[in-house]
Structure formats: C-alpha cells, structure tokens
Chain A
C-alpha cells in the first residue's frame, strides 16, 4: 500500500532523512517511534506530500506522491491524516468540518454525506455535538472529530502524527481506543507516537528512527524484548522509565 524507496530530505543544510526504505502492506499498522528530531514526523508528512523530498520515491496505492499536483490531490483523498494540534477549522461547526471534504472535494451528494457524518459522529461517541463549534469541545473530543473528518473521506491509509501528545492524560484513552478499533477493522495505519503501550498492543510492526535513518524494524515482540541496537535499547529504557 505504501512504498517508500531511498528517500532523502534536506531542510536547508540539515539532512533530516538519510535514505529511508520502508513498505507498509494493506491492513498493516506501523508505529514509528524515536526521539524528537529523529525525522519521524517529517517522514510521515512526506507520505501525504506535506513535505517535499529531494531524492527517492514515495508511492501510496501505487500513486507517486511527489510526481504531479493533480496526482497529489487525488492521492490525498485516499490518505487521511490526524495532526497533533487537531487543526480543526474553527469557523465551521463539527458537522461542517466533517462533511466539507466529501462534499466539496469528492463531490458526494449532500444527503449521503450528512448521513455518513452522523454515523461517524455516533461512532466516535459525540452524536449530540454536530452543531457545536470546535472551541466548545474538549481536546479529546476535538481530536476525535479530527479523526472523523479524516475518516469521512473513506481513505485507504490513515496517518497519525503524535495524535495524543497535546491531550490531557484523561483524554488520551478515548483517542487511543478509537485508533485501536480502526486497527481491528484492518485500516492501514502509520502512527507516530510516544505511547509505548499502544505500540506494543496494536502495532503489527514497530520502526525506530534515529538521526534520519530507520535503525530497527520488527514486530513488537522482537522490538521490545530483544532490541538489536544499543540506541534502541537506550531509548526504550528511557521511555519506559518515564
């Protein structure tokens, strides 16, 4: 589903991605972990074209992301992304936030869109907030709306960029539960997160990034019980101690 080959990226003089090769199969859940500055968020943003790459190729569902603009817009309809800061549209109601994508980008009929949106709201657990504005919701509710907004496009892939990092501890669980459900429904997901518990339980594979390269890649069991690299060991120890 996602094929990343020989990707290099520079921010000015800074070499942030130094030759990434990665494949994510359909229905697979890949969790990216690493210290800040390791390039994991950048890599994620390269997948849906929010960051440009200087070398290499990124293809999602066999569409080359960085080839042409029209391809990119088409591809983005198949890729959903959830940001750390939610990025909901503050001047639109929750309903409008969720429906604007399918309505204006995919051109689906209004009635259908509304019904689907109501179902999604029901599923994420806040059916009564359809006409509320984002600033009237809690952080956890906003993030769930953000997930619903992405899901409304019926994407083939869902990307998550530290979805719980900006949330209060009580609200992290509700968002992770939703993500867990999605994984069980065999959605292809790439998740950048610090939540090790989630990685251990939900991921099919875990990748550890350090200084722009993928240092280790393996199943959660392999990863957490038997890390190969010293850096990985150090990182896991630090994170699990916190």
Chain B
C-alpha cells in the first residue's frame, strides 16, 4: 500500500467517523426537540432559494474584515514599538491603551466609537477608486506569493510539473476572484462601515500590539548584541536579525486573532445593518413572512463555518510549516 492510498483510506475513514458522530448528535438534538413538544415543520428547499442573499452578505463581511485587519495590523505594530520604546511615558501610554481595550467587550468598543464618536464626528462616504479587472490583479498577486514561497523547490521540479503547477494556480486564482463576493474597489463605503473598520481595527490592535511585542522580545538579547557588534544600525538589526526570528513566534497568535476578527465582524449588525452576513440572515428570518426560521439560521451558521474553518486549518498548516523548518534552527542558544 503506497503512502497515497493510505492517506486516502485514512481520510475516508475519518469522514465516515465524523459523519456518524454528527448523525448521532443531530439525532439526539431532534429527540430533545420532540420531547419538548415541538411541532415544527422543516422546509429546507424554500430556505435554500435565498442563497444569493447570503452571498452578498458574505462579500460585505469579507470586505469589513480586510480593511479592519489592515488597520489592526498597522496600529498593532505602532503600539508594539511604543511598548518597546526606551521612554517610560510612551511605554505607559501604550500600556494603558492596550489594557483598556483588551478589558472591554468588542461590542462596547463598537458602540462607543459609532454612537459615541460617530455622532460627533461624522465621516464622509469614501469612494474607493475602481480598478479594472481587479480579480486578475489579485489572482496574479496570489500566484506571485505562492511562487515566492516555492522558490527553493522550484528548481527541482520537472518541466511537466512546473507547467501543471502554473496552469492550476492561474486557473484557481482566476476562478476564485471571478466568483468572489468581494469587490473592494469601485464602490462606496459609508459612515457606518468606516466607523466599524475603525472600531474593529482599534480593538484588535490592542491584542496584536501585545502579540508583536512578545514576538520581538522573544528574540534573545544576545542576538541583538551580535548584530550590533558587526556594526549594524538599528534598522539593520531589526530587519535582518530580530524580525525574521520574531515572526515565527508572532505568526500563530496573529492568525488566530485574524480568525477571531472575522467572527467579530458579525457585531456590526447590532449597530446598524449594513448588509453583512448576519444582517442578511436576520432580514430573511421574518417569522410572519417566511416561517422557516431555523433553516435560515442554520444556513447562517454553515456559512460562518465555511469561512472560518478553512482559515483555521490554513493557519494551523502555516504554524506547522514554520514550526518544523524553523524550530530546529531557533534552538541554537545554549544555556551555560
């Protein structure tokens, strides 16, 4: 039995096992429902007609995520550098920032920014300039990233494999962005959306700030000394020695924070509906007009699972790759 067939059989077995467990769980739940006297009639086919609504919501959710994540990472870096600054007051200020936002619920931060500041400082509607064929550009970017990651293995691939890889990559990225619900460019972003981005960005930047700081501090002081002894200036020490090593420590919590951010974007529904995934489901699930409420919400749950689970798996895979390849190398420091 080759390794391939073994892997295939294993995954099939796993699928069977989890399906069985799922069926048992669902059966238990249905029994509980019936025991509690439910006489609900399920109408899945009627609910599934509304999938296009969900897709539109998915687009809004993802757009909110992309912008908030960018803001959170940038602010987080700034906060981390402030926390590591040699000036006490700067450190303390950043520390207050971090501890305040980490101890508040995300919803409260959102409300504070939107209703508190948002009413005082109304933001203009920003129009993102239209980029033609943005899917192709984004697809090309994806290919470039993957090519960079593969650059060492590239030389050892045969010509046929290289061609196959290129074609499949191009195809996947093209399809991905053709069907993508994200537009990002050429549309208006209104006041609500912008304040949402600011609120989520600021909130998550407090967590990311700590993550970045811990990562940078995890690089042993002796590494910095060695780099300095070569005559490197601050930027060179950071760029060539500290950050590459810090990145390995930062990546796992970074990805988990970003995954949490995707889930948090659902909160914007509570402020104002801007048509994100949760909002769309709520608009659909009006008991008087469409009484198949349970189905609508189950589909909503499935949509979130469909986004978040692949992201989690991806982040675990990344950690694994980084862990194996770099963990050995990082353990060079001996304790005398």
Asked whether any CB of chain B lies closer than 8 Å to the CB of A122, the reply is no
Interface size class of A (residues with CB under 8 A): 20 to 34
Given A76-B231, A79-B229, A101-B231, residue A91 in contact with residue B333 (CB < 8 A): no
Given A87-B226, A135-B328, A165-B336, residue A73 in contact with residue B241 (CB < 8 A): no
| Residues A76-108 near B (CB distance < 8 A) | 76-77, 79-81, 83-91, 100-101, 104-106
In the bound complex, do residue A135 and residue B231 qualify as a contact, i.e. CB atoms below 8 Å apart?
no
Expressed in whole angstroms, the minimum distance between the Cβ of B241 and any Cβ of chain A is 6
Asked whether any CB of chain A lies closer than 8 Å to the CB of B326, the reply is yes
Closest A residue to B243 by CB, please name it.
Answer: A91
Asked whether any CB of chain B lies closer than 8 Å to the CB of A149, the reply is yes
In the bound complex, do residue A85 and residue B336 qualify as a contact, i.e. CB atoms below 8 Å apart?
yes
Q: Name the one of B228, B233, B332 contacting A134, with C-beta atoms under 8 angstroms.
A: B332
List the B side residues contacting A165 at CB < 8 Å. Answer: 336
Expressed in whole angstroms, the minimum distance between the Cβ of A98 and any Cβ of chain B is 10
List the B side residues contacting A139 at CB < 8 Å. Answer: 334
In the bound complex, do residue B229 and residue A50 qualify as a contact, i.e. CB atoms below 8 Å apart?
yes
Expressed in whole angstroms, the minimum distance between the Cβ of A73 and any Cβ of chain B is 5
Given A91-B244, A91-B326, residue A105 in contact with residue B222 (CB < 8 A): no
Expressed in whole angstroms, the minimum distance between the Cβ of A149 and any Cβ of chain B is 7
Question: B314-336 CB contact bits vs A (8 Å, 1 = yes)?
Answer: 00000000000010111111101
List the A side residues contacting B228 at CB < 8 Å. Answer: 50, 76
Closest B residue to A50 by CB, please name it.
Answer: B225
Asked whether any CB of chain B lies closer than 8 Å to the CB of A46, the reply is no
Asked whether any CB of chain A lies closer than 8 Å to the CB of B236, the reply is yes
Question: B189-229 CB contact bits vs A (8 Å, 1 = yes)?
Answer: 00000000000000000000000000000000011011111
List the A side residues contacting B230 at CB < 8 Å. Answer: 76-77, 100-101, 105, 149-150, 153
Expressed in whole angstroms, the minimum distance between the Cβ of A142 and any Cβ of chain B is 8
Given A85-B222, A87-B222, A149-B230, residue A105 in contact with residue B236 (CB < 8 A): yes
Closest A residue to B239 by CB, please name it.
Answer: A104
Closest A residue to B226 by CB, please name it.
Answer: A87
List the A side residues contacting B245 at CB < 8 Å. Answer: 90-91
In the complex, A139→B227 CA distance in Å?
20
In the complex, A139→B330 CA distance in Å?
15
Given A50-B225, A165-B336, residue A91 in contact with residue B231 (CB < 8 A): no
In the bound complex, do residue B231 and residue A105 qualify as a contact, i.e. CB atoms below 8 Å apart?
yes
Given A89-B241, A90-B245, A165-B336, residue A83 in contact with residue B231 (CB < 8 A): no
List the A side residues contacting B334 at CB < 8 Å. Answer: 85, 139, 166
Asked whether any CB of chain B lies closer than 8 Å to the CB of A74, the reply is yes
List the B side residues contacting A74 at CB < 8 Å. Answer: 231
Closest A residue to B247 by CB, please name it.
Answer: A91
Asked whether any CB of chain B lies closer than 8 Å to the CB of A235, the reply is no
In the complex, A170→B223 CA distance in Å?
26
Given A90-B330, A91-B329, A134-B329, residue A100 in contact with residue B229 (CB < 8 A): no
List the B side residues contacting A100 at CB < 8 Å. Answer: 230, 240
Expressed in whole angstroms, the minimum distance between the Cβ of A7 and any Cβ of chain B is 19
Expressed in whole angstroms, the minimum distance between the Cβ of B192 and any Cβ of chain A is 44
In the complex, A69→B326 CA distance in Å?
33
Asked whether any CB of chain A lies closer than 8 Å to the CB of B20, the reply is no
- The 24 listed contacts between A and B (C-beta, < 8 Å) are A48-B229, A50-B225, A50-B229, A73-B231, A74-B231, A76-B229, A76-B231, A83-B225, A85-B222, A85-B333, A89-B226, A89-B227, A90-B245, A90-B331, A90-B332, A90-B333, A101-B230, A133-B328, A134-B332, A139-B334, A150-B230, A153-B230, A153-B231, A166-B334
Which residues of B approach A to under 8 Å, CB–CB?
222-223, 225-233, 236, 240-241, 244-245, 326, 328-334, 336
Which residues of A approach B to under 8 Å, CB–CB?
48, 50, 73-74, 76-77, 79-81, 83-91, 100-101, 104-106, 133-135, 139, 142, 149-150, 153, 165-166
What are the nearest 4 A-B pairs in CB distance?
A: A87-B226, A76-B231, A77-B231, A101-B230
